Homo-oligomer: A and B are copies of this chain.
Amino acid sequence: MTDPTRIWTAALIVIGDEILSGRTQDKNVAQVATWLNVQGIRLREVRVVADDQHAIVEAVNILRTRNDYLFTTGGIGPTHDDITVDAIAAALGVEVVIHDEARAILTDYYATRGGLTDARLRMARVPGGASLIENRMSGAPGIRHGNIFIMAGVPHITAGMLDRLTGTLEGGSPLLSATIGCWVAESEIADLLGATERAHEGCQIGSYPFFREGRTGANFVVRSTQQSSLDACLTDLTAALEQGGWPVTSGGI
């Protein structure tokens, strides 16, 4: 029987010079994080690395061993800067091989699109021993090797691959959260937040200040794996804030 208190963790490696150059705004961290929460898996750490084999190998080998799952996004296309498969194979010490099913998928996909060229066949290459993650958006599949999930970098294709994996990974209790907001400077209620968190074991309270329309406010996110604990903490926090003279907006401001 699985230990109900076991916390399942994942890491994500975002691979791509375009993120590190600032050209492209990453969307996969938030997307993968949100999806993992629903699977009962916590995203514990993220690294963004360049299209550089040494950097990818280093990140893969440390993160795959200290997390239950490792996800990567980016670098699995047909061009010269797509080196994720080679780097992960090197990290695992396995050969890169052509996956027969991936070749069949690509042959079919490109039948009406000019045929399967050598460049396109690159997208059938996998670290030896891998299986595929179906890609319903475009031809080239994602790749699973042990606890590693190698996904596309283009966010809507990543989303399709995550969708295929939904419900297939063992996880624990999803981390539940609830948000409230107040027009208050967080520095005014720092002690109140700390005391409320300490009084509710298993709950974390995050404080996220903002400044809008000339006013200072903050949203407070309470997180717990237990609905009853979450509700109790939220009730106490709301009461404490309102007692202090700060009306609370459910769902955040």
Contacts and interface: CB of A to CB of B under 8 A. Distances in A.
A119 B187 CA distance: 6
Interface string A183-205: 00111101101100100000011
B187 A123 contact: yes
Contacts of A187: 77-79, 110, 117, 119-120, 123
Interface string A75-90: 0011111000000000
27 contacts: A14-B46, A17-B206, A18-B206, A21-B37, A21-B43, A21-B223, A22-B29, A22-B37, A22-B43, A24-B208, A25-B30, A26-B30, A44-B55, A45-B48, A46-B47, A47-B48, A79-B190, A79-B207, A80-B190, A80-B193, A80-B194, A81-B204, A81-B207, A114-B185, A118-B191, A119-B188, A154-B209
Interface-centre pick from A17, A29, A122 (highest chain B CB count, 10 A) = A29
A7 interface: no
Contact of A191 (B119, B205, B211): B119
Contact of A188 (B26, B44, B81, B114): B114
The number of chain A residues touching the other chain, given as a range, is: 35 or more
Interface string A19-36: 111111111011111111
